[in-house]
Amino acid sequence: MMAQYLALKEQAGDCLLFYRMGDFFELFFDDAKTAAGVLDIALTTRGEHGGEPVPMCGVPVHAAESYLARLIKGGCRVAIAEQTETPDEAKARAKREGSPVSKALVARDIVRFVTAGTLTEEALLEPRRANMLAAIAPVRGSVGIAAVDISTGRMELEECEEGALGAVLARIGASEVIAPEDAAFPLDDAIHRDGREFASEAGAKRLRTIHGVATLDGFGHFTRAMLAAAGGLIAYLDHVGRGALPLLLPPVVRDGAGALAMDAATRASLEILEAHGGGRKGSLIAVIDRCVTGAGARQLAEDLAAPLTNRTAIGERLALVGWLHAAPLLREELRTALKSLPDVGRALGRVVAGRGSPRDLGQLRDGLDMARRVHDRLGAENDRPALLDALLPDLAGHGALVDLFGRALVPSPPTERAKGGFIAEGYDHALDDLRQTSGNARRAIAALEAKYRDETGIGSLKIKHNGVLGYFIEVPAKHGDALMAPDSGFTHRQTLANAVRFNSLGLHEEASRIAEAGAHALAAEEAHFEELVGEAIASREAIARTAAALARIDVAAGAAERAAEGGWARPEIVDAPSLAIEGGRHPVVEAALSASGERFVANDCGLAHDDRLWLVGGPNMGGKSTFLRQNALIVLLAQAGSFVPADAAKIGLVDRLFSRVGAADNLARGRSTFMVEMVETAAILSQATERSFVILDEVGRGTSTYDGLALAWAVVEAVHDTIRCRCLFATHYHELSLMADRCDALSLHYVRAREWKGDLVLLHEVAEGSADRSYGLAVAKLAGVPAPVVKRARAVLDKLEKGRAETGGIAAGLGDLPLFAAAAEAEEEQCDTLRESLRALDIDALSPRDALEKLYELKREVGED
Ligand code: ADP
């Protein structure tokens, strides 16, 4: 056995090996230690290997799914080794092969790898989250990415520059990433596979075969890098499914320019799908999601992860939300109906992957039937928005399939297939006859019981059934002898302490009839199951489209519901690079405040080309971060096609959204936080465009005062003068307010506070102008710093301020700096002179000595000796 185990473990590689032994999956050696730790189950030992006891733990097969779920959550991957023959078959084989029958070992094989990115089981998946698997293939400076949600078969291919890979992976949020082992750059969390699997030719060929097409042109234009990634992805799916491929829908090309670009830091900082602590609670999606189906919630997450940049497409989504917003009764009716909608996409995924159950077929039937009803209901409405009209055709057209499944399946088919009982009466007459035969035999057995009681006079005689004996007649022990007589018509089968069991010819006949009819009925049901699965597979793309259309409608209805609930406004999307928000709110902070009975103070924001950069000052805890983020979230929601938490919003299309938080807020992240802050800031300065929207929260705080102020100053100047994008910059550096005089499109704002009876009252109102003073000490007092300490700090502050007034201080010193634009001009002039000198040179006419002399001269020209 150990040899077999070790051979399988070799194949399993770094996956835990679930080794099937009867009713248990057993784990050995280090696998056992890992699993026992993650699952918190007992670690025992079994036998010895190399003189050492072998660590072992096990999980019961019937409960394996829940253990698998915990292992996958714990970051493990699992290889499932099943018994591929029965013990009897193993013995027969041993006999044929001439080896000792008593030691015959049941053959086992790995039937499947269970990994985070390749799950299809309902119990292992989160209903409201897509489960993505991504493969990347670097091809000369550029990277192909193939991403698929195995549970629904949705597949997307894209290509990006190497530097943008982090942002793309952050958007996809894959639970598993695979990469070629020989990739030129390391990807820490990726699973590395043989580089030869990432071949574009092979990838294209696999896609053509899977979709039965001669060319992929009909699906879109795929680059070599994309196809290489697809090749790697499909090879991995072959490996984990041991050759059985899951559902893969035709790949869609994702064009990076079609989506609002956000890098990983921005996503994390805005807490879009996950809050800082990890998990959905406290995130944007948690407070806005009013979808009533899992598929809707997954679509919403996708919309928020990749908002649009196309005005028409955004307008279409908004029009549908607006239409449902204006029709509360219709919306209510629709949402009530969708509530009972099964997860059609995932049921289809399981069915196509060969892991479907009768229940999944029932879900397809019910889901497609519901789609038809939604189609008829919405189709009857007037003035339908364009997006709805585009979706309607996808909802209908499954009449034949619904009808077939309706006739074939019982109303609620079971999850288990092996026991049958899922094909409805009247669908197959032969099956009905078989069932009738068993029914008749069962009734005959009941009649026999009455007859035997009568004949023997034993009132307590019973006919029973169990798995070992089948049907038998049982009487209490004291009556046993009466039936033992040779001419009684009963044959003895078993004597227990207080009962004796018999058979009879009549019972035997009826029992055989039941067994035979049952076996035939099971076979018939199995055959029907395969037929129905075949029908579903034949319509897989149309079914997937229906599921997607229903999800889109659920998202729109949910968005309308959320907007109605919160008094949200429909944003107007314009081309001009402006941002005009009236009465804006932060949805997450507002929800948290209202849960504790507090009121959120709404604030306006008005950026325009000539007033594009707002410096926001004011005390700590005054609401600066909240204000910055709420405006970023409003842009994001609007471009995702949602109403926004504001009284009115006019938003100039944004191409890239950046959000950065000064290091002090992020201490938990562990890396050199200031370094991280600067790396992230550098990314903005190199990537933002005039169409971008940037929020910078206390950037520069992670270092000493002077460094920090200097950096903040330089960053604000660069954003204002060079990038010229819309920007909100929160800072506690008073000195930055001097910039208002030097930057004409920059204005000063602050969050208001008031001291009242010696205490600080934070008003959370954003006002124009600069904070009249710093409230640090007041905030310290508010936070409970002991009075003597605050008093002492006051004395120190007075001294510092006095010193600063005498020497002119930081602010005065900064006032003398040349303007950013002027400095840039001087540099450009110098370049011009250099260019002139170089052009004038006739290199061929120079002696080596002259050349050297010339080089020194050029160096002097740029100010170096
Ligand atoms: P700052 O960035 O100025 O330190 P925050 O934006 O982090 O301040 O806000 C601190 C707290 O103040 C928030 O957690 C919230 O409870 C409250 N707050 C912020 N903005 C508002 C607002 N507009 N209305 C009501 N409360 C607010």
pLDDT given for residue 708 in this prediction:
80
Question: 590 C-alpha to center of ligand 1: Å?
Answer: 10
CATH number, domain containing residue 382: 1.10.1420.10
Q: What pLDDT, in 10s, does the model give residues 277-294? A: 888 999 999 999 999 999
Length of the chain: 865
**Does residue 476 surpass a pLDDT of 70?**
yes
Pocket test for ligand 1, best of 620, 624, 647, 764 (most atoms within 8 A of CB): 764
Q: What is the mean pLDDT of residues 197-217?
A: 95
- pTM assigned to the model: 0.85
Ligand 1, atom 20, lies closest to the CA of 623
pLDDT given for residue 671 in this prediction:
52
Q: How far apart are CA 583 and CA 594, in angstroms?
A: 17
**406 within domain boundaries:** no
Q: Between these two residues, 467 and 368, which has the higher pLDDT value?
A: 368
HSE of 658, CA atoms in CB hemisphere, 13 A: 28
**520 within domain boundaries:** yes
Ligand-binding site membership of 345 (annotated): no
pLDDT given for residue 703 in this prediction:
66
Determine how β-strand 78-83 pairs with β-strand 16-21. parallel
Regarding whether 789 and 726 lie in a shared domain, the answer is yes
Regarding whether 625 and 600 lie in a shared domain, the answer is yes
Q: What is the mean pLDDT of residues 227-236?
A: 97
**416 within domain boundaries:** no
**Does residue 780 surpass a pLDDT of 70?**
yes
Regarding whether 793 and 770 lie in a shared domain, the answer is yes
Structure tokens at 627: 């204000």
Question: 624 C-alpha to center of ligand 1: Å?
Answer: 7
Residue 61 near residue 21 (C-beta atoms within 8 A): no
- Last residue of a domain, which of 475, 504, 531? 531
CATH number, domain containing residue 678: 3.40.50.300
Residue 745 near residue 610 (C-beta atoms within 8 A): yes
- Last residue of a domain, which of 71, 92, 114? 114
pLDDT band at 823 (very low <50, low <70, confident <90, very high): low
Residue 1 near residue 7 (C-beta atoms within 8 A): no
pLDDT band at 809 (very low <50, low <70, confident <90, very high): low
Interhelix angle 386-395/311-325, nearest 10 degrees? 80
Question: 788 C-alpha to center of ligand 1: Å?
Answer: 27
Ligand 1, atom 4, lies closest to the CA of 621
Ligand-binding site membership of 73 (annotated): no
Ligand-binding site membership of 863 (annotated): no
- What atom of ligand 1 comes closest to residue 620's alpha carbon? 4
Ligand-binding site membership of 619 (annotated): yes
pLDDT band at 805 (very low <50, low <70, confident <90, very high): low
Ligand 1, atom 19, lies closest to the CA of 623
Question: 282 C-alpha to center of ligand 1: Å?
Answer: 15
Ligand 1 site residues (CB inside 6 A) read: 589, 593, 600-601, 603, 620-626, 751, 764
pLDDT given for residue 748 in this prediction:
94
Ligand 1, atom 18, lies closest to the CA of 623
Question: 465 C-alpha to center of ligand 1: Å?
Answer: 70
Pocket test for ligand 1, best of 270, 620, 626 (most atoms within 8 A of CB): 626
Q: What is the mean pLDDT of residues 782-811?
A: 72
Q: How far apart are CA 856 and CA 562, in angstroms?
A: 70
Q: What pLDDT, in 10s, does the model give residues 10-44? A: 999 989 999 999 899 999 999 999 999 999 999 99
Mean pLDDT of the chain: 90
Q: What pLDDT, in 10s, does the model give residues 547-569? A: 999 999 999 999 999 999 999 99
Question: 621 C-alpha to center of ligand 1: Å?
Answer: 5
Regarding whether 802 and 695 lie in a shared domain, the answer is yes
pLDDT given for residue 211 in this prediction:
94
Regarding whether 38 and 182 lie in a shared domain, the answer is no
CATH number, domain containing residue 139: 3.30.420.110
pLDDT given for residue 343 in this prediction:
96
Question: 559 C-alpha to center of ligand 1: Å?
Answer: 25
Q: Between these two residues, 382 and 703, which has the higher pLDDT value?
A: 382
Regarding whether 700 and 623 lie in a shared domain, the answer is yes
Question: 673 C-alpha to center of ligand 1: Å?
Answer: 23
Question: 626 C-alpha to center of ligand 1: Å?
Answer: 5
Residue whose C-alpha is closest to residue 666's, from 268, 388, 98:
268
Of 769-773, 799-803, 810-814, 840-844, least confident by mean pLDDT is 810-814
- What atom of ligand 1 comes closest to residue 593's alpha carbon? 16
Q: How far apart are CA 338 and CA 491, in angstroms?
A: 60
**780 within domain boundaries:** yes
**405 within domain boundaries:** no
- What atom of ligand 1 comes closest to residue 765's alpha carbon? 23
Q: How far apart are CA 266 and CA 610, in angstroms?
A: 26
Q: Cβ atoms within 10 A of the Cβ of 714, count? A: 14
Full domain range(s) for residue 468: 429-531
Ligand-binding site membership of 470 (annotated): no
Ligand-binding site membership of 620 (annotated): yes
Ligand-binding site membership of 621 (annotated): yes
CATH number, domain containing residue 40: 3.40.1170.10
pLDDT given for residue 536 in this prediction:
96
Residue 540 class from Cβ within 10 Å (0-12 exposed, 13-18 middle, 19+ buried)?
middle
Residue 758 phi, psi dihedral angles, 5° rounding: 80, -5
**Does residue 816 surpass a pLDDT of 60?**
no
Regarding whether 361 and 439 lie in a shared domain, the answer is no
Residue 366 near residue 342 (C-beta atoms within 8 A): yes
Q: How far apart are CA 145 and CA 134, in angstroms?
A: 7
Q: Long-range contact list for 737-742, CB < 8 A, 24+ apart?
A: 737/615, 737/617, 737/770, 738/811, 738/814, 738/815, 739/615, 739/713, 740/615, 740/770, 742/717, 742/819, 742/820
Q: What is the mean pLDDT of residues 504-521?
A: 92
Regarding whether 791 and 740 lie in a shared domain, the answer is yes
- Last residue of a domain, which of 114, 137, 160? 114
Pocket test for ligand 1, best of 269, 270, 589 (most atoms within 8 A of CB): 589
**Does residue 665 surpass a pLDDT of 90?**
no
pLDDT given for residue 666 in this prediction:
47
Instruction: Tell whether the torsion through CA atoms of 82, 86, 91 and 95 is positive or negative.
Output: negative
Regarding whether 584 and 730 lie in a shared domain, the answer is yes
Regarding whether 473 and 347 lie in a shared domain, the answer is no
pLDDT given for residue 413 in this prediction:
97
- What atom of ligand 1 comes closest to residue 697's alpha carbon? 2
Ligand-binding site membership of 624 (annotated): yes
Q: How far is CA 846 from CA 834, 841, 850, 858, in A?
A: 18, 9, 6, 15
Q: Cβ atoms within 10 A of the Cβ of 327, count? A: 15
Residue whose C-alpha is closest to residue 627's, from 724, 763, 735:
763
Q: How far is CA 336 from CA 288, 292, 333, 339, 558, in A?
A: 18, 8, 5, 5, 11
Q: What is the mean pLDDT of residues 145-170?
A: 94
**63 within domain boundaries:** yes
Regarding whether 510 and 547 lie in a shared domain, the answer is no
pLDDT given for residue 212 in this prediction:
93
Which parts of 457-595 fold into alpha helices (H)? Answer: 480-484, 505-538, 540-566, 587-595
**404 within domain boundaries:** no
**Does residue 667 surpass a pLDDT of 50?**
no
Regarding whether 847 and 705 lie in a shared domain, the answer is no
Q: How far apart are CA 224 and CA 140, in angstroms?
A: 11
**421 within domain boundaries:** no
342 Cβ contact partners less than 8 Å away, ≥ 6 residues apart = 362, 363, 364, 366, 367
Question: 769 C-alpha to center of ligand 1: Å?
Answer: 19
Of 101-115, 381-395, 669-683, 757-771, least confident by mean pLDDT is 669-683
Q: What pLDDT, in 10s, does the model give residues 632-649? A: 999 999 999 999 999 999
Provide the domain count of the chain. Answer: 6
Of 150-159, 394-403, 701-710, least confident by mean pLDDT is 701-710
Ligand 1, atom 9, lies closest to the CA of 623
Q: How far apart are CA 203 and CA 230, in angstroms?
A: 5
Ligand 1, atom 11, lies closest to the CA of 621
pLDDT band at 770 (very low <50, low <70, confident <90, very high): confident
